[in-house]
């Protein structure tokens, strides 16, 4: 029977179940270029509103994983690990954790993505490094992993090409938050990359795509169950995204913070906690350490003795970046020249934050995409961010805007102030790691 993509769209639009064959045909057409962007967008919107069964999600995941080549790594007893985040404001954990896991004995071929909506993308951050090739050939990707034990890159043309097309379309069609689409997108890349184990960071809160705990748990369960069904063991951690993670938001600024973190110059407590918990989960599930405590000790050792920073430097150099980035980061990474303090509008404690509004403010500065073809200004964003629970006086700086023109800087200052709620009493402290899903 002849394949008609509009009939697949119609079936899902009407809330009916798609067969594995229909899903595979649709994804193959997308990968080959036989599908119009408008048809892919209509499919994404239909799935967003109608959802997918677990079998449909599994079929979509495997179809996207099989839409290109799949990697197979040397059978040398070295475990192949990766971590992936569902996206948050100021989330630069991947930049830190990939070289950290590699320094603890794992092979880490990390296939990362670009920004989705108000959240920054790991590849957009790395694009701020001069010369760094985020889209190497498959052969170069494998060679860098062999040399540095880790590489953070985008999908090559050969790996899950259907996902790369659908990923970009979701970003500009308000279909990012769909659990089946997130599940298939994440897992298809990871399956194609030849992983042994995957740890997921499922963000929940104002700055995440999953705003409430029930939605985040549903996504975590979908990722764990779908991954295990496809032969990829997955463990998911639910982590708080009700405020930016770390001290910066913005591509270049987050790379600079990550380098400082690796080099031991500054390690914000929430960022450290998330990094250690995710890293320990990965090392423990892979059998590299018997328990979380020993795994965290190994991770801290790799941070403190400089081996993780050295690994990051080797990876950057191997992918075309500066050979001395760790030592001379501020000389290589351009930061916008206009600086404006965000001053507190009241005296009291920073009580809550609309983290999504902060992500959108960075987009308005030029640090994110409104349309697929938009160019990103990597040099803009927020830095010196005070965490929730900080006590401040009226007029005290609570963050700094970094921009390329005074007018947009003032607008960003106003947006930041509007996103912050002050209280007379200190909010109760909470852990950034909420819970874990592993079966």
Summarised one tens digit per residue, pLDDT across range 398-420 is 999 999 999 999 999 999 999 99
**pLDDT for 177:** 82
Per-residue pLDDT of 221-260, as tens digits, reads 999 999 988 889 999 999 999 999 999 999 999 999 999 9
**pLDDT for 171:** 76
**pLDDT for 429:** 86
- Residue range(s) of every CATH 3.40.1030.10 domain in the chain: 81-329
Does the pLDDT of residue 155 top 90, yes or no?
no
C-alpha closest to that of 207 among 240, 236, 238: 240
- Residue corresponding to tokens 């991954």: 227
- Which residues are CB-contacts of 387 (< 8 A; sequence separation ≥ 6)? 243, 268, 269, 270, 350
Does the pLDDT of residue 333 top 70, yes or no?
yes
Question: Distances in Å between the alpha carbon of 397 and those of 142, 373, 380, 413, 424?
Answer: 46, 35, 18, 11, 18
Other C-beta atoms closer than 10 Å to the C-beta of 53 total 11
- Across 359-384, average pLDDT: 88
- Across 312-335, average pLDDT: 97
Percent of the chain whose predicted confidence (pLDDT) is above 70 = 98
Give catalytic residue positions.
82-85, 122, 170, 185, 189-190
- Residue range(s) of every CATH 3.90.1170.30 domain in the chain: 335-423
Contact 43, 170 (CB under 8 A): no
Tokens linked to 417 = 């102030």
Looking at domain 5-51, its CATH superfamily turns out to be: Transferase, Pyrimidine Nucleoside Phosphorylase; Chain C (1.20.970.10)
Domain 81-329: which topology? Pyrimidine Nucleoside Phosphorylase; Chain A, domain 2 (3.40.1030)
Domain 335-423: which topology? Aldehyde Oxidoreductase; domain 3 (3.90.1170)
- Residue range(s) of every CATH 1.20.970.10 domain in the chain: 5-51
């Amino acid at each position: 029977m002849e394949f008609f993509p509009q009939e697949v769209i119609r079936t899902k639009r009407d809330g009916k179940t798609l067969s594995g064959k229909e899903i595979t045909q649709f994804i193959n057409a997308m990968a080959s270029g036989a599908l119009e962007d408008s048809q892919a967008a209509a499919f994404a919107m239909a799935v967003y509103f109608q959802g997918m069964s677990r079998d449909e999600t599994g079929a979509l995941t495997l179809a996207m994983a099989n839409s290109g080549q799949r990697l197979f790594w040397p059978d040398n007893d070295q475990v192949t690990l990766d971590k992936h985040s569902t996206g948050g404001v100021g989330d630069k954990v991947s930049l830190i954790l990939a070289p950290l896991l590699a320094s603890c004995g794992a092979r880490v071929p990390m296939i990362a993505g670009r920004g989705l909506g108000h959240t920054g993308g790991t590849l957009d951050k790395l694009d701020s490094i001069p010369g760094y090739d985020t889209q190497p050939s498959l052969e170069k990707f494998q060679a860098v992993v062999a040399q540095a034990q880790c590489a953070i890159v985008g999908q090559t043309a050969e790996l899950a090409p259907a996902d790369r097309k659908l990923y970009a379309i979701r970003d500009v069609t308000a279909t990012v938050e769909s659990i089946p689409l997130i599940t298939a997108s994440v897992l298809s890349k990871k399956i194609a990359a030849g992983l042994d184990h995957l740890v997921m960071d499922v963000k929940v809160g104002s700055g995440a795509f999953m705003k409430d705990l029930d939605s985040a748990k549903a996504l975590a369960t979908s990722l764990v169950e779908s991954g295990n069904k496809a032969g990829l063991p997955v463990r998911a951690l639910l982590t708080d995204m009700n405020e930016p993670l770390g001290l910066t938001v913005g591509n270049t600024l987050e790379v600079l913070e990550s380098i400082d973190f690796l080099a031991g110059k500054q390690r914000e407590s929430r960022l450290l906690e998330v990094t250690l918990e995710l890293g320990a989960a990965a090392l423990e599930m892979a059998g590299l350490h018997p328990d979380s405590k020993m795994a965290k000790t190994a991770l801290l050792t790799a941070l403190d003795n400089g081996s993780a920073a050295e690994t990051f430097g080797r990876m950057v150099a191997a992918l075309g970046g500066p050979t001395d980035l760790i030592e001379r980061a501020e000389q290589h990474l351009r930061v916008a020249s206009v600086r404006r303090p965000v001053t507190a509008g009241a005296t009291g404690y920073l009580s809550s934050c609309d983290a999504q509004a902060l992500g959108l403010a960075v987009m308005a500065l030029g640090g994110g995409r409104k349309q697929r073809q938009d160019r990103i200004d990597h040099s803009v964003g927020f830095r010196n961010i005070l965490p929730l629970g900080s006590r401040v006086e009226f007029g005290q700086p609570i963050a700094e805007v970094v921009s390329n023109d005074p007018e947009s800087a003032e607008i960003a200052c106003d947006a930041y102030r509007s996103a912050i709620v002050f209280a007379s009493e200190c909010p109760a402290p909470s852990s950034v790691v909420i819970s874990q899903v592993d079966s």
